[in-house]
Chains A and B, each alone.
Chain A
Amino acid sequence: MDKITGLMRTKAKELLENGKVERVLGWEKGMFFYSTPPVFIDKPEDAEKLVWDDFAINNLAIYLLDKRNQESKVALFVKGCDSRGVVRMIQDNQVKRENLYLIGIPCPGLKDPKTAVRGYYKDASQVPKATKCEECQHPNPVLYDEMLGSQVEEPPEKDRFAEVSELEKKSADEKYAYWKAQSDKCIRCFACRNICPACSCQECLLDCSKPRWLDKEVDVAQNQFFHMIRVWHVADRCVECGECERVCPAGLPLMQLNRKLIKDINELFGPYEAGMDLEQRPPLTEYDTGDPEEFM
């Protein structure tokens, strides 16, 4: 970990000094042992702030949206999930590949600061691996200009849809009760939407006031509507980075919803993993004569 920190700092300093990029996105050490939040470096001397440790879990790709209308060149450090987030943004035309310098970091699986906070842990070693990291199938960056360190071993293939399959077996009433209980917890903070690399609309329809698609009331109907619509809008573009579920203050199992849709899409259009391949477009944005059309 310390070796990677050193490499990050050297690389960032070099890129800024020779003007290859105007900004470097990485992580720095925060106040608590479990905080390693994003940092934005535009001066070579600030490269010393960069840190790679167990808690460097934030997906940096979303910060590319902050300057999406500017042509500035940015370098960012990307783990497996982060790199897929970047692929997502390039495919969604939010950023240009040529404006990015991607420095890949093969990821051993990290820890979630929220786990440490909510469990009142006093020590990094006590904190278990983050849920999203336990579920991760692709820890190595899929898109990069250079890699710091060598690839990590890909985890054994697991059935990512196991939980979804279990839920599918429930009766309609049971499913309704389950999802109602989940969406009742929602406080409509929109952390899930704002942290999602697939949610890049300049004006989200769920914020739109004319027409008011989503009412501002926090109640059963509106909460269910919000989550259903968001998961449909993200559907085939979700890269399963797991950030939405991780940042939710109310603990909604959002990845179950996302994976349900991904499972359905796999069944309808063939297996597809968003964000793995820059050239392979999401199935709902492409037409193939082999697509199912039972209703025709």
Chain B
Amino acid sequence: MKAVSKEKLPALLEELAKEGTLYVPSSSGDMSRFVPWESDVQVDLEHNTTMSPKEVLFPQTEVLYNYKFGEENTVEPPPPGSEKIIVFGVRPCDVQAIRCLDEVFLTRTYVDSYYKEKRDRLIVISLGCTVAEDTCFCKDMGVNPVEAEGADIVLFDLDGEYGFEEKTDKGKEITKKIASQLSDTSKKKPKAPSFTLQANSNGIVEKLQKMFEHPIWEEVCQKCIGCGTCAFLCPSCHCFDINCKNTGACDGFRYRTWDACMFNDYALMAGGHDVRPTKVERIRNRYLHKLLFFKERYGMFLCTGCGRCLRECPAGMNIAGFINQLEEVTVDG
């Protein structure tokens, strides 16, 4: 297959950056995330990022439209972008999460125009994993850690070089542009990494379908402190809140921001009714969304086994541990 030597990677990235806005994983300072590439950016391809790449398609704060009141009232969405958006080094768990976001934002009649206009310009260059962290469990959530399904180009870590395979038309098109950086390799695709963390997801859908009133939720929810760390780091969480801000007497903008169903006021409604008043209901909702509802609706788990929530939860909540706990649970007919 084609390949790029690791020494030539900076040159490859420089070429790719000419084709649009290039995002690379970088761990400057304390929190690694995908940042726009510049020649002095430290690219970190050894470990996955803390902030997932979803912020490229679904920014944490996004203006929906600007409004003006006057002789004419106007509503103006921000102009669409025209450049390609190239995200380099996306791990299979995160590519799977993009597939989940596609289902939410692009299907079932309503198309989110803000997501779509970026998604149409997006080129995903995925990097397969040769090592699983102790917190990784993508395989158990239906993800192939070696080769991401749905990526435009897949890379394989082959020691001194990255194997390079175009998968889609978008992938082929951009490969032509950077072909001068590529060589050939006779090395084969690497073997799948071995996982120390096993989260047996077989049969959990059928079990969870009968567990809405199960007492397990009262026990599992207790550690949670109700912050948004898990939801914000999660590559597939996609809830948002919409607010308005006036910038003058007659103008302002409407914007959306990430929201988290873990926040205690997430389900609070006008009038004061709260459909998820305690942690019991909120944790139940989160885990059922990740492991049941999304699978039932779209045929894939919403949890892609990236492990970020396990790593950064301040209270030690563990969805993989919960999946294992389900093995002990018996539900009646």
**Chain A interface (Cβ within 8 Å of chain B)?**
30-32, 35-40, 58, 62-63, 66, 113-114, 117-118, 120, 185, 187-191, 193-195, 203, 207, 212, 215-219, 243, 246-247, 249-251
Nearest A residue to B307 via CB reads A117
CB contacts (< 8 Å) of A113 on chain B: these are: 316
CB contacts (< 8 Å) of A250 on chain B: these are: 30-31
Nearest CB in chain B: distance from A36 CB, A: 8
Nearest CB in chain A: distance from B141 CB, A: 16
Q: Which of the 9-residue segments B9-17, B160-168, B181-189, B223-231 touches chain A?
A: B223-231
CB contacts (< 8 Å) of B175 on chain A: these are: none
Given A63-B222, A250-B31, decide whether A215 and B227 contact each other with a Cβ distance below 8 A.
Answer: no
When each residue 298-318 of chain B gets 1 if its CB lies under 8 Å from chain A and 0 otherwise, what string results?
A: 000000000000111011111
When each residue 27-48 of chain B gets 1 if its CB lies under 8 Å from chain A and 0 otherwise, what string results?
A: 0011100000000000000010
When each residue 113-146 of chain B gets 1 if its CB lies under 8 Å from chain A and 0 otherwise, what string results?
A: 0000000000000000000011100000000000
Query: In the complex the two chains form, is B225's CB within 8 Å of A31's CB?
Result: no
Given A31-B320, A37-B315, A216-B241, decide whether A191 and B225 contact each other with a Cβ distance below 8 A.
Answer: yes
CB contacts (< 8 Å) of B197 on chain A: these are: 31
CB contacts (< 8 Å) of B135 on chain A: these are: 32, 117
Query: In the complex the two chains form, is B315's CB within 8 Å of A58's CB?
Result: yes
CA distance A250 to B30 in the complex (A): 6
Nearest CB in chain B: distance from A251 CB, A: 3
Query: In the complex the two chains form, is A37's CB within 8 Å of B316's CB?
Result: yes
Nearest CB in chain A: distance from B224 CB, A: 9
- Residue B60 lies at the interface, judged by CB distance under 8 Å to chain A: yes
When each residue 67-111 of chain B gets 1 if its CB lies under 8 Å from chain A and 0 otherwise, what string results?
A: 000000000000000000000000000000000000000000000
Nearest CB in chain A: distance from B327 CB, A: 14
Query: In the complex the two chains form, is B227's CB within 8 Å of A194's CB?
Result: yes
CB contacts (< 8 Å) of B321 on chain A: these are: 30-31
Given contact pairs A40-B223, A191-B314, A194-B225, enumerate 5 new A-B contacts (beta carbons under 8 Å). Answer: A35-B316, A39-B223, A188-B228, A249-B50, A249-B312
- Residue B245 lies at the interface, judged by CB distance under 8 Å to chain A: yes
CB contacts (< 8 Å) of B232 on chain A: these are: 187-189, 249
Query: In the complex the two chains form, is A216's CB within 8 Å of B257's CB?
Result: yes
25 inter-chain pairs at a CB distance below 8 angstroms, sorted by A residue, are A30-B321, A31-B310, A32-B135, A35-B316, A37-B317, A58-B314, A58-B315, A58-B316, A120-B47, A187-B60, A188-B228, A189-B232, A190-B263, A191-B227, A194-B227, A195-B227, A203-B265, A216-B243, A217-B61, A217-B243, A217-B245, A218-B257, A247-B229, A249-B50, A249-B233
CB contacts (< 8 Å) of B311 on chain A: these are: 114, 117-118
* B side interface size, CB within 8 A: 42
Given A215-B243, A250-B31, decide whether A30 and B225 contact each other with a Cβ distance below 8 A.
Answer: no
Query: In the complex the two chains form, is B229's CB within 8 Å of A249's CB?
Result: yes
Query: In the complex the two chains form, is B30's CB within 8 Å of A117's CB?
Result: no
When each residue 228-260 of chain B gets 1 if its CB lies under 8 Å from chain A and 0 otherwise, what string results?
A: 110011000000010101000000000101101
- Residue B279 lies at the interface, judged by CB distance under 8 Å to chain A: yes
CB contacts (< 8 Å) of A188 on chain B: these are: 228, 232
CA distance A72 to B316 in the complex (A): 25
Nearest B residue to A40 via CB reads B222
Query: In the complex the two chains form, is B229's CB within 8 Å of A219's CB?
Result: no
Query: In the complex the two chains form, is B316's CB within 8 Å of A117's CB?
Result: no
**Chain B interface (Cβ within 8 Å of chain A)?**
29-31, 47, 50-51, 60-61, 133-135, 197, 219, 222-223, 225-229, 232-233, 241, 243, 245, 255, 257-258, 260, 263, 265, 279, 310-312, 314-318, 320-321
Q: Quick one: which of B61, B133, B233 contacts A219, CB cutoff 8 A?
A: B61
CA distance A58 to B316 in the complex (A): 9
CA distance A243 to B223 in the complex (A): 15
Given A32-B134, A217-B255, decide whether A189 and B265 contact each other with a Cβ distance below 8 A.
Answer: no
CB contacts (< 8 Å) of B227 on chain A: these are: 189-191, 193-195, 247
In the A-B complex, the 8 residue pairs with the closest CB atoms: A37-B316, A251-B30, A247-B314, A191-B227, A189-B228, A194-B225, A216-B257, A194-B227
CB contacts (< 8 Å) of A58 on chain B: these are: 314-316
Query: In the complex the two chains form, is A212's CB within 8 Å of B229's CB?
Result: no
CB contacts (< 8 Å) of A246 on chain B: these are: 314
Query: In the complex the two chains form, is A31's CB within 8 Å of B51's CB?
Result: no
Q: Quick one: which of A37, A66, A212 contacts B243, CB cutoff 8 A?
A: A212
Query: In the complex the two chains form, is B279's CB within 8 Å of A66's CB?
Result: yes
Nearest CB in chain B: distance from A205 CB, A: 12
Query: In the complex the two chains form, is A37's CB within 8 Å of B61's CB?
Result: no
Query: In the complex the two chains form, is A194's CB within 8 Å of B226's CB?
Result: yes
Q: Quick one: which of A118, A195, A249 contacts B225, CB cutoff 8 A?
A: A195
Nearest CB in chain B: distance from A38 CB, A: 5
CB contacts (< 8 Å) of B50 on chain A: these are: 249
Nearest B residue to A222 via CB reads B61
CA distance A117 to B232 in the complex (A): 18
CA distance A113 to B225 in the complex (A): 17
CA distance A246 to B133 in the complex (A): 22
CB contacts (< 8 Å) of B255 on chain A: these are: 216-217
CA distance A247 to B279 in the complex (A): 19
CB contacts (< 8 Å) of A30 on chain B: these are: 316, 318, 321
Nearest CB in chain A: distance from B133 CB, A: 8
CA distance A203 to B272 in the complex (A): 13
Given A66-B222, A189-B229, decide whether A249 and B315 contact each other with a Cβ distance below 8 A.
Answer: no
CB contacts (< 8 Å) of A216 on chain B: these are: 61, 241, 243, 255, 257
